Each structure stands twice: as C-alpha cells, then as structure tokens.
Structure 1
C-alpha cells in the first residue's frame, strides 16, 4: 500500500492584525518552515494519529475527538463520508504529524496542520476541491471551534507566497445584497522576491484570545473611535498591498510604520516590544512592527537589502534576543507520494 505525505508552510501576518477580525483586509505570507503529515494505510479499520502534541487511537468509522487534536479530528470528520467511500472496509490510516515550525513564535502552526489535513484528505477521498474551497471548509472548521476567525493564516498556508485577504462583508443596507464573499488574491512571486523578513522574540507570549479580550475591554466605552482605528488599519493594509505589488519599497515601509502606529494606539505594543522596535529603528532597517496580536510574542522586520537583517542579528546588542530570518516561500500546501 502506498504511503503519502501532505505538507503546509508556516505563516505570518505582514499587516492586518486585529483589524481583520472586524472585516478589514490582511496581508499574510507563507514562510519556509513546514509541517508534514505522513498518511500510511493500515490493515485494520483503525485511525491512529501520532504527533508531538498527543497520540490518539480511534476507529475510522466513528472518530472520537481529542482535545489537543481538534483541527485534525474536525477535518477528518468533514471528509469522513467520502473518505470511507474510497477506503476499503478493513483499511484504516495512520497519521504521523511532524513539524519544524517554532510554536513559540506564533507562526500559524495550527493553520498549517489544518491546511496539511485538508489537502491530504481532499486527495485521499478523491475530491476535487479548489484551494479556495478548501479554505472555505477550513474557515468553517475554525469558526465552529473558536466562534470567530478570519482564517487569514490558513489562506497563506494553503496558497503559499503572499496573499491579500479581503474578508466577507455584511451589508447594512436592506436594498443591497446580504454580503460580499471573501476574496483571496495571491501576489505574483516577483513582487516579494526581493523582500527579506526577520522575527525577534520578546521572550514571552500572551495568548491571542487574552489579547483580544483585553482590547475589547480597553475600548468598550469608545466603540466609534475603535471602529475608526480599525478602518484606518484596513486602509493602510490596502496601501501596503498595492506598494508591495509594485515592489515600491519606500511606500511599503511607510505603510508598515503607519500600521505599527495603529498597533501602539490600540494598546498592544508593550514596553519590551517598544524596546525591540527602537533597536530595529536604530539599525536603519526598512521597517519594523509588532507581529501577531501583541503584548509579547515578536516584532517583524523588513528589508530589501540582502543580508541586512542577518547582519543586524549578528550584532552584540541582539545576542540577548532570539532572532530568526525566515524566507517567504511561494509554495503552499500540497500532497506527494512517498
């Protein structure tokens, strides 16, 4: 029996944090760190999932959930009718999940495992869903489990490269269509070919759900001002996308800086992140901003000059910090025969 492997890349938000949850666009990149799933047929109707998070043994005919493997089990259950139809009665599957994605850096490991599951199951169950349709399935899974979510990180892991996501928008006008569907626009790889990225870890991370709860509480008495800030963040992201499309580095860096100003106003750029941003500013890199939801985690730095980020990381002042150069990969999730 043939063994197969699906894989998906890590990802990071270039612009769009916080605002994307409220319908504003996001610019997201796939990174050259990978999560893989080896799919091995079994001579029994079992389903065995082996991973660093947990091991799980259940039956393919009736998959029991596991608290640490939620996205994996949800994806399997979504495809289960078609998977069973195309799997012999006495055959099961073993999934070996491995990852070189650093889970401390907020690089979308959950989105990567979901993307790898979706492309693998799409082939194993002999379906022909497009990447957009797989993203829509994944977004449904994310929202069923988390209550909300833009699935921007999933878009990057599925499509690869840099993608511009415009979430669906609900219309408030009774005479207008109820909503506009989400749109995913992959950028031409030549547009980001000369862009280098780096991450500097603050040494701690506040869970995203806690950050979102803090922001909601912090702004609860100023909803109009908050909505105006999110709208501005959306406009900045659109400008950044247009600049990156044209490899217009100075306007792109200006958009990154403007977005960081909004993150600071939102209240998620704490003292450690401000210190790191000050170091990046002194190094005269292209631009830098908080990466992810903030209140810890990382800053992300940008440069169009080869080796500039690595040279900065090598300086004495940066030796106390965990620094990572992470190339953008144009490859997205895929499936191969081993």
Structure 2
C-alpha cells in the first residue's frame, strides 16, 4: 500500500498584521523547520490520526473531527468524496520539529501539509492557489475569521507578498527567494487574537476614520517593503519595519514588555530590523538579520543576539532563530532523504 510524507514549513508574518484583515497586503515567510505527515494506506475504510496533540479513529464515510485536530479533519472532509472513491482508508502520523509556543504558524503548516497530501493521494491536481482557497475556507470555518497569509507562506515558501482578495482586488501571491535569518523572541505570554481585536475596536470606536488611516498606512508600508526587497533596496526594506512598529504602537498593541524587547533588539549590531510579530499584546518580537544575495552570499550564520549590549537579558526569553526556507509544502516518498 502507498506510503509517503507531506511536509510544510514553519512560517511567520513579517509585515501586514491587523491591516491584512481589512484587505491590505502582507509580507510573510516560510522558515526552515517542518511539520511532517506520514501517510500510510489501509485496506479498510478507517481514518486514523496520530499526533502529539491527540489521537483519533474515525471512518471516511462518517468522518468526525477531533476538537484538537480540526484542521486535519476539515481538510479531509473537503476531500471526502474523492477519498471514498478510493475504497480504502488512511493512517496519518503527524510529527513537528517545532513547538506551538513561539509563533511559527503550526496550524497553517499542519493544514498545508494535509491539503497537499490529500491533493496527492486523490490525484485532484489542484494548484497551490486552489489549495489556498480550500484552506482559507477551512480557517474561516474554524476560527470565524483569518486572512490565511500564513497558509500562503507555508504552501509557497520563500518570502510571500500576499494581497488578499477584496471587492476590487484579486488574490495575489508573489514569491521572492530571499536569504536571511529570522529571530523570534517570546515575551512569556499571549493574548488571544480575538481579545486583541476587541481591545483595538474598543480603543478606536470613536475614531473610525483615524483607525482606517492607520490601516492604509500599514498597507502602504508593506507595499513599499515588497518593492524595496524586490529591487534589493535594503535600507528602505529594513526601515519599513521601524515604521510599521511605530504604527503598531499607535494602534495600541505593543505593550511595555514588547516595547522593551524591541528596544533591546534594536541595540544588537547583527539585527537590521525588528518589530512585534503577530496580533500583539504578548507573543513574539521578530528581528531580521542582513539580507544576502547571490552577489554577496552569507558566509556564516551568527546568532543575531551575539554582541548585544544586554545579551544576558535577552537570554532570559525563549527564542528561536531560523533561516527562510525557499521550499514550501511538498511531497516525497519515505525512501528519499529528509
């Protein structure tokens, strides 16, 4: 019976938090740590899922979703007709190289790996754009809202410029192959995104025009950063992060701990740009190292916190540094090296 692995990378938003929900563009990236799903065909109609989060046994004809495995379950439901036509079941084993604590887009990576695996086993031949559409519907069904920028980064790899579809804009996903390191520093706590959005709505309820202006500025900065990165105009690209962080502070989502970490990282000589990552009021601060090119390749990967004036303070915070992965979600057999 067939046996193979689908893999999807960790991912992180670079620019576009908050504004992307309202139709403005975002920049996100795939990172070189992976979610793997091992697929083994079975000679019955069962669907077995093994994960560190939960284990589930169900059938393809009466497919049920475990509350901790909703992204896998809903993806299987989207392919249920094709799966039933195969007249056999599947066993899925999910393995992750990274924890869900630091914001590495684990849900998007699991969903991407599942969708690409299902696309493969059913010979559906969906493009990655079509898989994104299916995945976006699943995210909205589970979470109530979501731009699915992280799903685009996981599917396509590299640095992704993501323009969400709106009434007057088509979906655009432009992929750049960029070589740089990303550092994420976890502040020690998180505020659920829904609570952050509710806080923003309450704070700005009497100033809707000013809030809309903030989102427009965020969108403009993200566009500028994408153009600068495409043209290797790196000073403008780096400076876009400083501008975006200022807008997030104005929005009210960069609290005292995040402000402190941003300032500490700005003082590090190997950090070229930094800002909060995610919706804010907790979670992570993101820092980027120098962008390299084929004309000036990276010689060695140093810790971005090396030579920081207060490196012992930063050591107290959970952190991870990863290079950008040029590869997005993909399939390979178990006989290949991985």
TM over 0.5: yes
Q: Quick check: 1:278 aligned with 2:273?
A: no
1:208-223 matches, cutoff 5 A:
208-223=193-208
1:137 to 134, 139, 159: 134
Which residue of the partner structure matches residue 183 of structure 1? 172
Which 4+ runs in 1 deviate beyond 6 A?
Answer: none
Cα shift at 1:315: 3.1
Show CA shifts across 1:57-87 (max 9, x none): 11111101211111111110111111222x2
Show CA shifts across 1:235-261 (max 9, x none): 000111111112222111111100000
Secondary structure of the corresponding residue to residue 180 of structure 1: coil
Q: Distance in 2 between matches of 1:10 and 1:209?
A: 22
Secondary structure of the corresponding residue to residue 106 of structure 1: coil
Cα shift at 1:318: 2.1
Contact 2:46 2:58 in 1 (8 A): yes
Which residue of the partner structure matches residue 176 of structure 1? none
Show CA shifts across 1:151-181 (max 9, x none): 00000000011110111122xxxxxxxx432
Segment of structure 1 superposing worse, 281-290 or 232-241: 281-290
1:294 to 280, 295, 300: 280
Cα shift at 1:143: 1.5
Secondary structure of the corresponding residue to residue 41 of structure 1: strand
Q: Quick check: 1:127 aligned with 2:124?
A: yes
1:131-170 matches, cutoff 5 A:
131-170=128-167
1:118 to 107, 115, 120: 115
Which residue of the partner structure matches residue 329 of structure 1? 325
Show CA shifts across 1:98-141 (max 9, x none): 11122111111000010001000001111101111111111111
Which residue of the partner structure matches residue 16 of structure 2? 16
Contact 2:265 2:305 in 1 (8 A): no
Segment of structure 1 superposing worse, 111-120 or 298-307: 298-307
Cα shift at 1:302: 1.5
Which residue of the partner structure matches residue 109 of structure 1? 106
Q: Distance in 1 between matches of 2:64 and 2:11?
A: 29
Gaps of 5+ in 2: 292-300
Secondary structure of the corresponding residue to residue 213 of structure 2: helix
Which residue of the partner structure matches residue 307 of structure 1? 302
Q: Distance in 2 between matches of 1:64 and 1:200?
A: 37
Secondary structure of the corresponding residue to residue 189 of structure 2: coil
Q: Quick check: 1:228 aligned with 2:223?
A: no
Cα shift at 1:42: 1.6
Identify if the C-alpha distance between structure 1 residues 312 and 15 changes in structure 2 by more than 3 Å, giving closer, same or farther. Answer: farther
Contact 1:8 1:34 in 2 (8 A): yes
Show CA shifts across 1:265-285 (max 9, x none): 010100101111111122243
Contact 2:29 2:157 in 1 (8 A): yes
Cα shift at 1:310: 4.5
Q: Distance in 1 between matches of 2:196 and 2:26?
A: 18
Secondary structure of the corresponding residue to residue 139 of structure 2: helix
Identify if the C-alpha distance between structure 1 residues 312 and 62 changes in structure 2 by more than 3 Å, giving closer, same or farther. Answer: farther
Gaps of 5+ in 1: 171-178
Segment of structure 1 superposing worse, 67-76 or 209-218: 209-218
Which residue of the partner structure matches residue 297 of structure 2? none
Which residue of the partner structure matches residue 319 of structure 1? 315
Aligned-pair Cα RMSD in Å: 1.5
Secondary structure of the corresponding residue to residue 169 of structure 1: coil
Corresponding residue pairs, total: 323
Contact 1:11 1:28 in 2 (8 A): yes
Q: Distance in 2 between matches of 1:303 and 1:68?
A: 35
